[in-house]
């Protein structure tokens, strides 16, 4: 019987620092792409793609512990932080064999007595089939937006 082994790597870039955590190697650090990730207990929920091409939403849930509180404080309430989230399949030797990388932008955070929730949306939005087959230039769209909204003139 084969075991399923999945590690998740969380790299959060804020205005002042870069924070790296993983949730598989309990009490130890792990290296991914030559960067060290400390252990933190977290889980990811809600990354879904839709047929309409909406931005994906992702929630990272931490227990209400000091590490998670520092994450929120240092990321200005998780506003406009940048998240690189890697879901990695591991072999029996616990080596990464299939990583899946997603990129997100922080949109907020919330607290409860037991949980801290960091909310993100995908950094890249899809384009529908009705989109004009033209090259987008500043003349066509004006100043490029920071979100997924484009207005053609």
Q: What is the pLDDT along the chain (153 residues), one digit of tens a residue?
A: 567 789 999 999 988 889 999 999 999 999 999 999 999 999 999 865 555 666 788 999 999 888 778 777 777 788 878 999 999 999 888 888 889 999 999 999 988 889 999 999 887 665 555 555 666 666 766 666 666 665 555
CATH classification (class only), 6-125: mainly beta
| Alpha carbons 152 and 140: distance in angstroms, whole number | 6
Task: Give domain limits for the chain.
Answer: 6-125
Instruction: Tell me if 49 sits within 8 A of 66, measured CB to CB.
Output: no
* Token pair for 149: 């909204």
CA–CA distance from 19 to each of 68, 127, 131, 137 (Å)?
11, 31, 37, 35
Element (H, E) at 58: strand 57-63
| pTM greater than the 0.85 cutoff | no
């Amino acid at each position: 019987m084969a075991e399923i082994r999945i590690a998740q790597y969380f790299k959060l870039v804020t205005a002042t620092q870069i924070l790296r955590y993983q949730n598989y190697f309990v009490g130890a650090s792990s290296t991914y792409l030559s960067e060290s990730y400390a252990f933190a207990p977290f889980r990811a929920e809600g990354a879904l793609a839709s047929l309409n091409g909406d931005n994906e939403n992702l929630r990272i849930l931490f227990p209400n512990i000091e590490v998670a509180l520092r994450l929120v404080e240092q990321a200005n309430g998780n506003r406009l932080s940048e998240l690189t989230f890697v879901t990695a399949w591991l072999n029996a030797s616990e080596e990464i064999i299939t990583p899946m990388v997603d990129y997100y932008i922080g949109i907020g955070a919330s607290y409860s007595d037991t949980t801290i929730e960091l909310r993100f949306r995908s950094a890249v939005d899809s384009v529908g089939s009705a989109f004009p087959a033209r090259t987008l230039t500043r003349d066509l769209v004006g100043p490029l937006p920071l979100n997924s909204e484009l207005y053609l003139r």
